[in-house]
Structure 1
Amino acid sequence: MSKTKRTALVVAPGRGVYNAAELGYFHHHHESRLNLLSGFDAQRAERDQTSLAELDGAERFTLSKFTRGDNASGLIYACSYADYLAIDREAFDIVAVTGNSMGWYTALACGGALDGDQGFEVVNTMGTIMQEDLIGGQLIYPFVDGDWREIPGKREELLALVKDIPDLHVSIRLGGMLVLAGMELALKEAESRLPLIQDRYPMRLANHAAFHTPLLEGNSARGKSALPPSLFGQPETPMIDGRGHVWLSKATPIETLWDYTFGEQVTQTYDFTRAVITGLHEFAPDVVILLGPGTTLGGATAQAMIECEWGGLTSKADFIARQKEDPLILSMGMDDQRKDVIA
């Protein structure tokens, strides 16, 4: 008996998801796709960079090495893209793809606007540019409570803080959190004015630059110079960007897609929440599949669902109950959910 297909929105993660727990992720889950890794490593060899095979096969995880933009970006892309290829197409009809921050580059490859090698070229080039010209940093702070309900006035308070501190920007709208970015003085000022909550926030993100802010206009220019529009083609699957805009198959202006990817996407706020909500509203998927590595994007995705009350969700408790009964989110970074996704 054939399987009943479910429709799926696929979400690719950004930086910061390959940590000590993920060490060996590619080799563990994708031993049959080591040729894919070899192709990516051929590109890295041309830049005299440490191979992904060596990084993923390391005996121990070190923050200084694995969170570098020129290492983290390529490693995460390789794991995410291989996960995408592993999705059981007899069980799932992928109706759209999106991603968080760097995950937009992965989504371009998953959606078919770039092939796998071109996607890696984009990710590795931009990650290297970021590392070579590391500008500013990021911190993260929530505006929801422990049950993922919005705290009245908290979001507005954070936005007012951004307006009040020179050179502080909203980098990413990430579910029930805002990622703020700026130079060191701006970040320190924000940290001094934000009360410590949950014993962890405000939280600095290690080795992250001031992504998605005007501070990276130089990186944007370098990216456009290094990566021409000729890399891009028409997507095969609809792609949702960091504004919530949908790029449709056979109807995408290539030059405009290229310009957004290395222009506005680099220098303006990335609204992951809007991307997820657009995916839910426009494509009404049965499930959302989160590519690995890591599991940290699950909370932000669920919080986006709660914000738009998708499936009647209004709180973390609602989400947990629904996940136990009939999951809305399947995370490939979690072994118990991964088995329900792969062929």
Structure 2
Amino acid sequence: MSARKTALVVAPGRGTYGKNELGSIARLHGARFADRIANFDAQRRDRGQPTVSELDGAERFSVATHMRGDVAAPLIYAATILDFLSIDREAFDIVAVAGNSMGWYSALALGGAVSVADGFRISNAMGLNSQTHGPGGQILLQVVDEDWRLVAGLREKLLALVADIGSRPGHALALSIDLAGMLVFAGNEEGLAALLAETPPTPGRDPLRLAGHGPFHTPLMFGSSDKAKAELPSSLFGFPALPMIDGRGHIWRRFATDPAEVWDYTFGHQILAPYDFALSVQVAVKEYAPDVIILPGPGDTLGGAIAQALIGIEWQGLANKADFAARQASDPVLLSMGRAEQRGLVTAG
């Protein structure tokens, strides 16, 4: 038998459970993980919420329902954690975990800092708490060209513009998430309107207002942070079993971690300050040199951001989109469990 490959596992965040994922939790995991799903359902039922099974088993996907924070968060967590538990540990040695934005709550459970059940409790509560914020939202802007290389000077121009807008009276605007090839900015309505009016030309796509998203990872989320700290005690947290790389690029190691500090970061800085997803991936691959990166479901939309983060540091010679595509065709470095052909390379049996 060949030696196990080392793997970094990256948990996806909001926007990944879509129309194509409807029914996937029951289809992929209903038989093997019935007890886990029953626990998730019971937690939702106890709060008077529709269960994961009911939402996943809906006759049709509803943007108004399934994309809402208090619904999207538990569905994404359930799909992610059950995919993680399906990884063939005889084939892969998981060396570290990370996550994007809301995916950090999943990463806590993947890394063992909280139990699977408590990870669901946290994700479910934060799906509801994420709707507690000042008025505003998020806008996504692309900063790479068609070859996935940074457009010279564009990132700096956008950050300077956002800083200027955010300093104006009545305007709130700041970087929310760094996705390597895309930047997400968040703020109040005045700040977002100014950004849309003054943004310089960007490649690939027009600026996109993210439907149903609040001003995540900014001080406008103070209500969410306050509710989280009041509702979710530090006693839920323990020492991680695996290294966890957070949205600052900080590594939480098993024997050098204070669980209370993870709690404080999770419901403080992680909610109120920018989430540097690109840096988290870059730190993880530099520190742990994994053979592969595994992206659990739902979906696979985070794959591009992971690839662009690798290209940003020319990891293993990857300098552009063509390099990444060639590597994926010959010896895949990114295994997305949302893709059937790659899922088969990751799961047992």
Query: Which residue number corresponds to residue 336 of structure 1?
Result: 341
Q: Distance in 2 between matches of 1:324 and 1:45?
A: 45
Would you say 1:207 and 2:212 are equivalent positions?
yes
Say yes or no: does 1:310 pair with 2:315: yes
**1:82-93 maps to which residues of 2 (within 5 A)?**
82-93=82-93
* DSSP-derived class of the 1:96 partner: strand
Residue of structure 2 equivalent to 1:81:
81
Determine the structure 1 residue equivalent to 2:270: 265
Alignment-derived partner of residue 24 in structure 1: 23
Give the aligned partner of residue 237 of structure 2: 232
Alpha-carbon distance between aligned partners in 1 of 2:299 and 2:20, rounded to the nearest angstrom: 8
Partner of 1:117: 117
Q: Is the contact made by 2:249 and 2:279 (CA closer than 8 Å) also made in structure 1? A: yes
Equivalent residue number for residue 38 of structure 2? 38
Amino acid at match of 2:242: T
Instruction: Give the whole-Å Cα distance in 2 for the aligned partners of 1:207 and 1:3.
Output: 46
Larger mean CA deviation between 204-213 and 299-308 belongs to 204-213
Q: 1:287 aligns with which of 292, 297, 318?
A: 292
Counterpart amino acid of residue 77 in structure 1: Y
Q: CA deviation at 1:174?
A: 0.5
Structure 1 residue 199, shift from structure 2 partner: 6.8
RMSD: 1.2
Aligned partner letter, 1:313: L
Hey, what does 1:244 align to over in structure 2? 249
Match of 2:169 in 1: none
The 4+ residue runs of structure 1 with deviation greater than 6 A are none
Which residue matches 1:52?
52
CA contact (8 A) 1:196 1:202 kept: no
Residues in 2 aligned to 1:119 and 1:72: alpha-carbon distance in whole angstroms:
15
- Partners in 1 of 2:35 and 2:200 — Cα distance? 49
TM-score, L = length of structure 1: 0.97
| Structure 2 gap ranges (5+) | 167-171
Alignment of 1:157 onto 2:168? no
| TM-score normalised by length of structure 2 | 0.96
Tell me the secondary structure at the aligned position of residue 340 of structure 1.
helix
How far the C-alpha of 1:247 sits from its partner, in A, is 0.5
The whole-number CA distance in structure 2 between the counterparts of 1:77 and 1:70 is 12
CA distance in 2, matches of 1:216, 1:133: 5
Whole-Å separation in 1 of the counterparts to 2:17 and 2:45? 21
User: 268-277 or 24-33, which moves further after superposition?
Assistant: 24-33
**Structure 1 residue 189: Cα displacement:** 1.6
Unaligned runs of 5+ in 1: none
CA distance in structure 1 between the aligned counterparts of 2:134 and 2:264, rounded to whole angstroms: 22
How many residues are aligned here?
342
Q: Secondary structure at the match of 1:10?
A: strand
1:27 Cα deviation from its structure 2 partner: 1.2
Q: Which moved more, 1:247-256 or 1:113-122?
A: 247-256
2:146–2:204 Cα contact (<8 Å) kept: no
1:253 is the counterpart of 2:252: no
How far apart in 2 are the matches of 1:279 and 1:91?
20
Question: Contact conserved, 2:132 with 2:223, CA < 8 A, in 1?
Answer: no
Structure 1 counterpart of 2:83, which letter?
Answer: D
Q: Report the alpha carbon displacement of residue 178 of structure 1 after superposing the two structures with TM.
A: 0.5
Q: Which residue does the alignment assign to 1:301?
A: 306
CA positional deviation for 1:251: 2.2
The letter for the 2-side match of 1:23 is L
Q: Output the CA distance in 2 between the equivalents of 1:56 and 1:113.
A: 27
Q: What is the CA distance between 1:3 and its match in structure 2? A: 3.5
What displacement does 1:175 show?
1.8
What one-letter code is carried by the residue in structure 1 that aligns with 2:225? S
3-state SS of 1:146 partner:
coil
**Residues 142 and 203, structure 2, Cα contact 8 Å, conserved in 1:** no
Q: Does the CA-based 8 Å contact 1:135-1:216 persist in structure 2? A: no
CA gap 1:133/1:51 in 2 versus in 1, 3 angstroms: farther
- Residue pair 1:10, 1:291 contacting (<8 A) in 2 also: yes
Work out the CA distance in 1 between the residues paired with 2:233 and 2:74.
19
- For 1:206 and 1:335, the matched residues in 2 are separated by 28
Letter in structure 1 aligned against 2:69: G
Whether the 8 Å contact between 1:129 and 1:219 is mirrored in structure 2 is yes
